[in-house]
Amino acid sequence: MEPQALPEGVNPEFVVLVNGIYYDLCVICNNNSGVRTYCPVDQRKHYVEGCGQLCPDCQDRADFIT
Ligand SMILES: [Zn+2]
């Protein structure tokens, strides 16, 4: 079975494939952030510019970043 194509420029180590959909991993805890890799950055929740995608848990703990 062919894996779904990754968006250009995405490092496969930073995403996880769930039910045929790529999600970004949290840059802090490396868990599934729940944000689709295809989602534009300006529409993402828990995205920290210059840092990357966080999961909701890490966002809660990382208020100082925002
Ligand atoms: Zn996290």
Measured in Å, residue 31 CA sits from the centre of ligand 1 at: 6
Distance 61 CA to ligand 1 centre (A): 9
pTM beyond cutoff 0.75: yes
Q: How far apart are CA 48 and CA 21, in angstroms?
A: 22
Q: Taking residues 11-39, what's their average pLDDT?
A: 94
Question: What pLDDT is stored for residue 66 in this prediction?
Answer: 52
Q: How far is the CA of 3 from the centre of ligand 1 (A)?
A: 25
- pLDDT value at position 50? 87
Residues with CB under 5 A from ligand 1 (ion): 26, 28-29, 55, 58
Answer whether 41's CB lies under 8 Å from 33's CB. no
Rounded alpha-carbon distances, angstroms, from residue 17 to 20, 24, 50: 6, 9, 24
Name the pLDDT band for 6 (thresholds 50, 70, 90): confident
pLDDT in tens, 31-51: 999 999 999 989 999 998 888
Domain boundaries, the chain: 12-61
